[in-house]
Structure 1
Amino acid sequence: MRNLCQSSYFYDDNGEWEKILSDLEYSQSKVIKKIVNQQNFGDINRDSYLDLLLFLLLQHARTKKMQETADQFIKEFSQSVSEYNLETIETDNLEKTDLIADRFPRSQFLAMGPAMVGVDLIKDLFPVLLVNNTHVNFITSDAPVVLYNYVKLKKRMLVGLQSPGLQICCPLNEKLSLLMFDPKFYEVSSDSDHIILIENTSDIDAINKLQLFNCSHSIVYRDKDELSYIKTLHQSIKKNIEETRLQANFTDTRRLKNDSQSDIIQSTIPSIDYTLKLSFLKLNHKSNKSFKSMAKRKLKDNPYMIFLRDKNVAEIVGKRFKAMNSETQEKLSESELFPGYKLKVVSTFM
């Protein structure tokens, strides 16, 4: 159990990042403990609430699963560029597609960057505390923060932090779970304190299945007697659990004023192949229909359009991330693979 859901020197070799994150965890743990002890959001002030949001973002970003996703992004990115530019890249350089990956020994920072500066991306989500009043416990995993969306567009991923219709679910312990959702797309039966008391085991099963879909290697549960339940739950969705393979492809090429070339690469990860059904949360069909109608029109003009809940917020956070991301841009521009190319990396994790 010692190495479960953790890794030595995951962030750096000297422990500086570990110290920074440890200090953040101290503030966040106080908020989590207060929520768990009170079983409500109680007297949480603005600063504490922002700590809670940052907790969710970092728990989502600083996992082995996210590192594996980032590694895959870098690999697909370099492969897409080399295939696209076959005529201008020498044959020997085609064997150097790992050069970019070699420049990013800790690729998880591609996701942690937006997390560190991106609290504003999810401030608009509505928070509720799920109180489990059944005999079946919540389970968790090595990737406990799940991004999910009832709203679906054909061949489009809508699980970015600014995606319309987003839901974020994270268990706090075996009897409490945090759920945040886009209030424009969902209606819930919660009380004035944002608490939902769950009496149906089917709701617990549905939420626990999200952990099975989202985990990388490990499921965490309280009692060994629960193993049989977890195996049964897994068996019921086994055929839907597939390895999520990120793909990166060129989508557009633009000529800049100085006659240099700017190429756009879009990366996508398949959404969870699962329909979450909860007795206390309903999709607002009017909002869903309106959004899909608008999206259909927009996609005709721009097939690669990214849909956001608040464009202004996304731009503000994007500028913060760009400032943090200058080193990444420099490493890619210096790559021997792409001489004469101006490469622009836009985070796929927002």
Structure 2
Amino acid sequence: MLTSSMYSETGQPFDPFPPGEQRLLLSFVFTQRQRTRLMRDEIRASAEDYFRSKLREIVTKAGSDPANHTDLEDTVFEQTVQDVHHFMMLHGILAPIGMYGLDCVVLENETEIELITSEAPVVFANPCFKDTRRLTYTGMGDAGLQVYCPLSPRLCLLFYDPKTYLVQDNREWHASLADEQDVRVLNLLQILSTDTFVLYESLGQETMMKALTRKAREVGDWQTVPQPPLASDDEDAQYPYEPPHQLHNITPSPAPVSIRAGVEFHRRTRAEMKQRRAVWRLMECSETTEKAILKAVKILFEDTKRDFRT
């Protein structure tokens, strides 16, 4: 569906999307990232001890023994995980509010290697600041964000932070993937992001898949992104970096990167805060998180001509 809206039958690109379609594309891609079972499992794994301890405190303060209410604890915990997951999905649906500043390009695979995909196709990466920031997952509001979404064995969408990366496009909205190493990096990101399965189109890819799987075991927790320490005397201090998942010919980063220009200056933008407020307002005025999601979808489709930047 996405590729048909980008290309004519002759393979020539259409004019850039009008604002309403750009918003729908942003919302689609970011919702694909947030909706997955992997996202829910990460929420459950990262916060289970915290949520359960808080629930036990509430039961204890009410004068009961938590050991007698384990079924209630399980039920409330699962509902909490669902609510948090819905909260993340709201950020995906309303991504056009805070993510409009990302640039977008269609990567065209011109190599002999096919692009693969998985049940969690949308991948967040942050190669520029990976090795210089404190350990944290790559987030929607981070400077240096890259978002990859494979569309076919030959096409991949890339959203990227234009204040951090210099994408070398060969024509409007398009960039060629002519280096097999770049395609292998994109495929590796798919394997690192899945917890179930990957998909590829043609037979004969098994050797490549085995090599990528071995490589994935060596990478470890690739999404951890260290925070650069702020310079005590010079807020414009510069520092080196070694991007581990950089697309060599597509997203070169300016080097060295200024802390002000690379991180602090656009880390918490007005648009990002506006998106957060919109999500919280929906949560507060809705009886359930499910109804909040339905309202968000309604807002998205009814206001396609509205400019969120104003």
When normalised by structure 1's length, the TM-score is 0.65
Partner of 2:253: 283
Question: Any conservation in 2 of the 1:70–1:111 contact (CA below 8 Å)?
Answer: no
| 1:157 and 2:175 are equivalent in the alignment | no
Structure-2 residue corresponding to 1:263: none
CA distance in 1, matches of 2:207, 2:153: 17
Aligned counterpart, 1:178: 157
Q: CA deviation at 1:81?
A: 3.2
Are 2:204 and 1:225 equivalent residues in the alignment?
yes
Cα distance in structure 1, aligned partners of 2:149 and 2:53: 34
- Residues of 2 paired with 1:144 and 1:174: CA distance? 13
Which of 169, 172, 186 aligns to 1:190? It is: 169
Give distance in 2, aligned partners of 1:159 and 1:39: 34
User: Alpha-carbon deviation of 1:241?
Assistant: 3.7
**Cα distance, 1:75 vs. partner?**
2.1
Q: Which moved more, 1:318-327 or 1:113-122?
A: 318-327
Q: CA deviation at 1:322?
A: 0.9
TM-score w.r.t. the length of structure 2 is 0.72
Measured after TM superposition, the shift of residue 70 of structure 1 is 3.0
Letter in 2 for 1:202: Q
Amino acid of the structure 2 residue aligned with 1:111: M
Which amino acid is 1:45 matched to?
P
Q: Deviations over 1:211-262 (max 9, x none)?
A: 01111211011023212211111112313245989xxxxxxxxxxxxxxxxx
Matched, 1:34 2:5: yes
- Alignment of 1:130 with 2:107, yes or no, is yes
Gapped regions of structure 2 (runs ≥ 5): 225-242, 290-310
Q: Which residue of 1 aligns with 2:279?
A: 321
Query: What CA distance in whole angstroms lies between the structure 2 residues aligned with 1:118 and 1:90?
Result: 43
Q: Percent identity?
A: 20
Q: Structure 1, unaligned stretches of length 5 or more?
A: 1-28, 246-273, 296-306, 332-350
Q: Is the 8 A contact 2:113 2:183 kept in 1?
A: yes
Aligned residues: 262
> What root-mean-square deviation, in Å, do the aligned CA atoms of Structure 1 and Structure 2 show?
3.3
Q: Does 1:100 align with 2:84?
A: no
Per the alignment, residue 205 of structure 1 pairs with 184
Q: Which amino acid aligns with 2:284?
A: S
Give the CA deviation at 1:32.
3.5
Q: Give, in angstroms, the shift of residue 309 of structure 1.
A: 3.4
| Contact 1:39-1:131 at 8 Å conserved across structures | no
Distance 1:243 1:282, change over 3 A: closer
Change over 3 Å in CA distance of 1:226–1:90 after alignment to 2: farther
1:132 and 1:287 mapped to 2: Cα distance? 29
Task: Give the drift of 1:84.
Answer: 8.3
The 5 Å alignment of 1:288-327 reads 288-290=258-260, 309-326=267-284
Task: Give 2:230's aligned residue.
Answer: none
User: As a proportion of its length, which structure holds more helix?
Assistant: 2
